[in-house]
Amino acid sequence: MTISERHEKILEKLEISGKVTVQQLSDELSVSEVTIRKDLRLLEDKNLLFRTHGGATRTNPYASDRHVEEKAKVQAKEKKAIAKEAVKLIGDNDSIILASGTTILALAKEINPSSRLNVITSALNVSLELANREHVEITQLGGQLRPSSNSVVGKYSELFLENITCGILFLGVDGIDLEFGLTTTNLMEASLNQKCINVAQYTVVVADSTKFGKRGFSRICTLDQVQHIITDSNADPETIRKLEDNGVRVTVSKG
């Protein structure tokens, strides 16, 4: 098989499945993994694919930092369905942390408790959404404002979290990678999210299916630090199976 024929086969497989692994291609094309890695590098240079750890994908696996208002328009129906599932986890007289992000804001819109609920959040838009709910007590974290996410980050927020504990952390992310873990596009936001995980008894990631296979600039944590992921019905069943095999509870929202 010539190099051109091999490249054609690689692109055909990508067109069918959306992603390939170096080991898979090496076995099927009867060449070394070193050769496959060179092939993928050449194809990436031609903008025909995106290399990832151990393989390649057809679409860009790296998340970009977009403004929260732009993100809110993407997967809006799915985010609302995820939020309706997530709100079921909140108990009476609970204390929760709501991180930042458009899916977290969708969750805030579903929160209207009949008994006291203590909410700690870094997101200004979440605080404003909940401000007039009768039974909700809000603790707004302070720090450096990130205009693109309408949320705060920095040492003041992190120092406050060192003195509290809470039941559930609801966390939004920019990427979920089975090997690399949870990521976001901002280093300071990743650091604050790590602190939130440390003080929560239970961490719930709310993320639509487009976040799977993506990586942001900064790692928040590995998947073994997450107890629960809520996503939508477009999520890949094989990915869900692998998550559950690793001890992560996965809820697929309806609608």
Low-confidence residues of the chain: pLDDT under 50: none
How many DSSP H helices and E strands does the chain contain?
A: 10, 15
Q: How much is the pLDDT for 216?
A: 83
Instruction: Considering the domain delimited by 3-57, tell me its CATH architecture.
Output: Orthogonal Bundle (1.10)
Check: CB of residue 49 under 8 Å from CB of residue 86.
no
Topology of domain 68-252, per CATH? Answer: Rossmann fold (3.40.50)
Question: What confidence score (pLDDT) does residue 48 get?
Answer: 86
Q: What is the pLDDT of residue 63?
A: 57
Q: What is the predicted pLDDT for the residue at 90?
A: 97
pLDDT per residue as tens digits for the range 218-242: 999 999 999 999 999 999 999 999 9
Sequence ranges of the domains in the chain:
3-57, 68-252
